[in-house]
Structure 1
């Protein structure tokens, strides 16, 4: 399944989720009404056997209306509260609720360094910013991805997974979680948490009231000032609340199972496609089956987030139909058809040598082939086809890219002061006079410690090849996201000072600035109402393609040829304008284009590709802008590679 089809299916599943929720709420209203009717009957002064006619007489329209209003109100309020809570912190809220702590990017722990390197590789290969990684101090082998999109996504991993899985197995697990991020499953799962919180809240309230009712029942029996019927009423109320609570939990798990199970098979298949190594994810699943703790988590709120996990994090019990994950053996058979069906408990954990060999310096390899060979239209077409489904070549390129970054710069990207200095240094002009004005302005605006780091790293950053600028930005993002609100706003102000030093906004300056504010959540402007068709965004496409057509060239004939090539991919005509591109209008244009339906976005990407490839080669700055805008359109694009 391609990226855009997967995104569209995830969007459609949101509608299915609403239908399931309505069905669950109707069922809860029926159960609650019946239970309340029975309780009211027993609390009345009527004597004798339970009469069906008497119970039915109690089912008045007033009672049913009051119950319906109460249940719907509780579901809506609970869902809105949870949505607000999650929206404020994204995936970090989920990770911290489960007891996770963020792994410091500069950690010296070999196992933690290993998982960070695996996540960094997968992120750069996928064309998305590196997400923060949270460690859960749990013995079970498990992982999860949480967040609404790539801007607030996090990866969670258990201590059991780090200690027991080899590097290939960790890569398979991480690839599985990246599939959930890229294909829209993660966003659907977050919506599922919000929607089900109100339903599960009924179960939680029932449990709390049941405990208090049981305590009250013991008090009644001790006081001896109530008759036997009073105790029966108390117990009946307790049982009633237990039934309502169980019903809420049942319907919540039913919806989770209905939405989640098939997505796990697809994510497993994607992990194999990304790594071309079925043994990686397959052996990880086998180790879950052979491990004493399996994938189970002990966190008190793990059940609420059970559908997010890599493995079945909670005990299933007698009813497999409510399991959020398919059976382990079926998942293994799908990725490893030759598996003998046995869980080998003797499988080894990663050796000390394997873990210790991981370092911040990266891996062997080189990007010289990509630097010395020209990218063409075939590179752009292959990159579009690889959106949401990077392959082994992208992983190899990511390793080589990390290795090509000087170790000193990689280490600086993990430090809260030095990381800001690296971004400032990326904006320094190659023109000596302009650079001197930038540094003078920065010395006045930046913190003294940060300015010293700029002067320390400026030489290395200015020597970086253009192909390494975007990977460095992606690598720096986790540290930048840990800045406080005041630090982030000051950071943004310093960037604006650097850009305005020469009264001109270059293509790269626009790219860096808008990419950063997009992913750091510093852009307070919304993207406006939903746009469904390309015909509704003709002006926005004109602005975007006009900028791309002039990227790195001024010849009117070449600009016209680029726009004519792009026009063939769109259902409307483009006009050729002689004036310089309007960089201020580009940001709002991209923001509105982000509201296109998934199946409408490929035409925009194809038009962009035609625009930058018309000359027969794609320059690094053009490729950079192409990928950044694709990312901002929520279509993270792998690096453009030289076609073999």
Structure 2
């Protein structure tokens, strides 16, 4: 975890240094630029880190997931035992295990700490999947936790947020100056704020494409991890079942990217690769 955090903090610092150099070449005031860099880093990382720290609470509240403390039936006992076995094999602490009421076949994992995460499954999954298929889905979610995907995504989003904030204001300032000429009294006009708002939306769209590309990449890794924990044929069977029953995800937006099924969208903005590609990747893998 700390290596990953260090890497992304260094990446963010490199982005800020690069932005500072570019702005110096463009003649942007260094004092103003320093303030902008600090503000961008605070707001860029602040939101994503807070979201990560609150992820378990928000996931439970958003889905109505009920954590299993004492199993009430054989299914809940099986869920706890399977997650415990897979968590031990993956080298992580035992996550909280929860069930939420939804007709879709889905599951998700979240949490700021790989040793204190949450794994939740829908009632639709329990009703429509065999134990072998459900075991593979749980393995997929445990792999997300073991890989630190929630932390990595939050840090990546922080870097992208910072870049968007800096770039929108710098480019907005250049455009505003070019349009206004030598404005009397200096300073920024109202048009500057409109330009920045539009640029933030445009650059934010590009940042979303990057984040979703990374999210799709980590889904392949989690599928591979699920196959290692439960068996390749079980993981393939689980994805085939999802393909037969695939529908629109009902997970809240902030955790939809961490579900097993994902959501329907244009490919550039998909958090999950098409199921056909995931199945093909597993069939071509060397996992037993």
Instruction: State if a TM-score over 0.5 links the two structures.
Output: yes
Give 1:312's aligned residue. 262
Cα displacement (A) at 1:135: 3.2
**CA 60–23 in structure 1, closer or farther in 2 if over 3 Å, else same:** closer
Larger Rg: 1
The one of 220, 224, 238 aligned to 1:284: 238
Q: Is the 8 A contact 1:21 1:255 kept in 2?
A: no
Cα displacement (A) at 1:270: 2.4
Superposition map of 1:149-228 within 5 A:
149-192=113-156, 195=159
**CA 80–236 in structure 1, closer or farther in 2 if over 3 Å, else same:** closer
Q: Deviations over 1:261-309 (max 9, x none)?
A: 3332232222222223x23221222222222525x2342xx2x445433
Superposition map of 1:518-597 within 5 A:
none
Q: Is the 8 A contact 2:63 2:251 kept in 1?
A: no
Tell me the distance in 1 between the aligned counterparts of 2:17 and 2:238.
38
Q: Secondary structure at the match of 2:94?
A: coil
The one of 34, 39, 50 aligned to 1:73: 39
Tell me the distance in 2 between the aligned counterparts of 1:135 and 1:111.
11
Tell me the distance in 2 between the aligned counterparts of 1:167 and 1:140.
17
Superposition map of 1:13-92 within 5 A:
15=7, 19=11, 23=15, 61-62=28-29, 66=32, 69-70=35-36, 73-80=39-46, 82-83=48-49, 86-87=52-53, 92=56
- Answer yes or no: is 1:297 the counterpart of 2:250: yes
Give 2:94's aligned residue. 130
Cα displacement (A) at 1:132: 0.7
Give 2:230's aligned residue. 275
Tell me the distance in 1 between the aligned counterparts of 2:160 and 2:192.
27
Q: Secondary structure at the match of 2:63?
A: coil
Tell me the distance in 2 between the aligned counterparts of 1:65 and 1:162.
58
| Structure with the larger RCO, 1 or 2 (CA within 8 Å, 6+ apart) | 2
| TM-score, L = length of structure 2 | 0.67
**CA 18–282 in structure 1, closer or farther in 2 if over 3 Å, else same:** farther
Cα displacement (A) at 1:96: 3.0
Q: Secondary structure at the match of 1:324?
A: coil
Give 2:213's aligned residue. 257
Cα displacement (A) at 1:76: 1.8
Q: Is the 8 A contact 2:8 2:155 kept in 1?
A: no
| TM-score, L = length of structure 1 | 0.34
**CA 148–235 in structure 1, closer or farther in 2 if over 3 Å, else same:** closer
> How many aligned positions are there?
260
- Structure 1's unaligned 5+ residue stretches are 1-6, 34-58, 203-232, 339-390, 393-644
Q: Deviations over 1:112-161 (max 9, x none)?
A: 55433432332355565431123344444332322343432111323333
Q: Is the 8 A contact 1:102 1:132 kept in 2?
A: no
**CA 331–245 in structure 1, closer or farther in 2 if over 3 Å, else same:** same
Q: Deviations over 1:308-328 (max 9, x none)?
A: 333334x432xx344333332
Q: Secondary structure at the match of 1:19?
A: helix
Tell me the distance in 1 between the aligned counterparts of 2:105 and 2:13.
31
Q: Secondary structure at the match of 2:262?
A: coil
Superposition map of 1:213-252 within 5 A:
241-252=197-208
Q: Is the 8 A contact 1:181 1:187 kept in 2?
A: no
Tell me the distance in 2 between the aligned counterparts of 1:128 and 1:114.
19
Give 1:121's aligned residue. 85
Cα displacement (A) at 1:175: 1.0
Q: Secondary structure at the match of 1:336?
A: helix
